[in-house]
Amino acid sequence: MKDRQGSLGRGFLYGLYQGRLRRSLSSSAIPKHVAMIFDGNRRWARQRGLETAAHGHSAGALKIHEFLRWCDELGISVVTLYLLSNDNLVNRGGEELEQLIDIIAELSEDLACTNDWRVQRVGTKEGLPKPLIDSLQAAEEKTASNTGLHINLAVGYGGRREIADAVRSIVNQHNLQGGTLDDLAELLTPELIAEHLYTQGQPDPDLVIRTSGEQRLSDFMLWQSAHSEFYFVEALGPDLREVDFLRAIRDYGRRHRRYGS
């Protein structure tokens, strides 16, 4: 009985603190675009003695639904989720990768049926199995006219590969138009490269969050995050709490973004 009362008391205090955090946030300090690296799913499963990493990935997918609701409630416009990297496709194999791919496919289908959210895949199709490509494409097409939260699913994604693909696209387009190398040298600007990224037309992320205590980008949005703020959370992905997220937003709002000035 005491344990239950203690749990209820902690839950009540947690709710009060969470509400106070929300009220402390200024609407003018809410980021427009949040990029999220959900990390630690495998460690979460190991710590609980679960049989496979898939249990952690499934728990992480459930947490993603919560996280997106938190973002939507705050009025954030764009969220980019790092779900499967090019490195994962090369370095992870066998049953774990197959299970993760199935979980991502199911996640994309679920998100396409949620609210007025718009789903977009960012990344290359190279190395992705056709059923996953089909699921991502179907989610994108189904939500293309939606005007709510814009969700980028970074699947088969790598920041270096994205920049290389952007430059390749520019060169091919320029060649088709009969341009010369000298002309291209004059035209090649950061703005032009940005127009050919997977996220073309979208604002760059204001805030990049990573769970699990790791403090690195892991080839995620290298170009777009040039002026982003970073926030690292100790909690493993499935254990992320709304207060952790609200603290990240509060911390972002307290920072002064100078952009070199």
What is this structure's pTM? 0.91
Cβ atoms of 221 and 80 closer than 8 Å: yes
* CA 166/CA 151 separation, integer angstroms: 21
Give all domains of the chain, ordered by start, each with its CATH number: 30-157+206-254 (3.40.1180.10)
Q: What pLDDT score does 179 carry?
A: 82
Cβ atoms of 235 and 67 closer than 8 Å: no
- Both structure tokens of 129: 């199995």
DSSP strand pairing (78-85 vs 33-37): parallel
For the sheet with 229-232, list strands across it: 118-122, 150-157, 78-85, 33-37, 207-210, 229-232
* CA 18/CA 237 separation, integer angstroms: 19
Neighbours of 162 (CB within 10 A): 26
* CA 74/CA 242 separation, integer angstroms: 12
Catalytic (active-site) positions: 39, 88
Neighbours of 110 (CB within 10 A): 15
* CA 100/CA 98 separation, integer angstroms: 5
Instruction: Write out the chain's pLDDT in tens, 261 residues.
Output: 556 655 555 667 777 888 888 888 888 789 999 999 999 999 999 999 998 999 999 999 999 999 999 999 999 999 999 999 999 998 887 899 999 999 999 999 999 999 999 999 999 999 999 999 999 999 999 999 999 999 999 999 999 999 999 999 999 999 888 888 888 888 899 999 999 999 999 999 999 999 999 999 999 999 999 999 999 999 999 999 999 999 999 999 998 777 666
> Could you tell me how many residues make up the chain?
261
DSSP strand pairing (207-210 vs 229-232): parallel
Residue 34 host element (H or E): strand 33-37
* CA 208/CA 232 separation, integer angstroms: 8
Which residues, other chains included, contact 112 with Cβ-Cβ below 8 Å and sequence gap of 6+? 119, 138, 139, 142, 143
* CA 43/CA 45 separation, integer angstroms: 5
